[in-house]
Amino acid sequence: MKPFAESCEQNKHVIFEVIEKHFSGCQNILEVGSGTGQHAVFFASKLPHLLWQPSEQAENISGILQWLEDYPSNNIQSPITLNVNETWPANAYDGVFSANTAHIMSWQEVICFFKGVGESLESGGTFCLYGPFNYNKNFTSESNARFDQWLKDQSPLRGIRDFEELNSLAENQGLNFKEDVEMPANNRILVWQKI
């Protein structure tokens, strides 16, 4: 039985409404942390002009392959193994997408994540990051504060990240902040563009 994430089903339509605009001029998208693969098959089907590259840690690749088998598409590539701390793919992309990843990484991994995005994106390329974020180290809701505590109970290195700190990492990689889009369930999409 292939893996299934209820959150992907709940958020895929609202995420699509945002990334459709930002990826309209793109051709090659790298998805970092594809999870089950549900987002990949949905977004690729809705954006046929794109070539979508899923990526995940090695132990999750088989689940993505099951989704690709059930929902084959000419514009989804076979998933690649990607650990943000290690070597990133040599290919250049004009778009990078990632959902619900920054808060389950350690801060050191987040630093490597943004470095990898900066190196992988072509000039003019777009980076869309979905998830919960803090502002000036403040939670945007009580539910996010509880979620942050739950994350830290799983691992003290996890936690909801602060927008200002993420934007500083982005700027260090030559990424200009473009948009902050409010999403349901106290989530956001942050958008940067490579200079």
Q: Per residue in 90-114, pLDDT tens? A: 899 999 999 999 999 999 999 999 9
Q: Per residue in 62-99, pLDDT tens? A: 999 999 999 999 999 999 999 999 999 989 999 999 99
Interior/surface letters 2-23, b for 16+ CB within 10 angstroms, e for the rest: eeebeebeebbeebbebbeebb
Q: Per residue in 123-155, pLDDT tens? A: 999 999 999 999 999 999 999 999 999 999 999
CATH numbers and ranges of domains, the chain: 6-194 (3.40.50.150)
Kindly report the pTM of this predicted structure: 0.98
pLDDT at residue number 160: 98
pLDDT at residue number 32: 98
pLDDT at residue number 183: 97
- CA atoms of 165 and 169, how far apart (whole Å): 6
pLDDT at residue number 165: 98
Mean pLDDT for the stretch of residues 22-40: 97
pLDDT at residue number 22: 97
- CA atoms of 34 and 102, how far apart (whole Å): 13
Question: What separation in angstroms does the CA of 3 have from each of 6, 38, 95?
Answer: 10, 9, 26
AA letter at 2: K
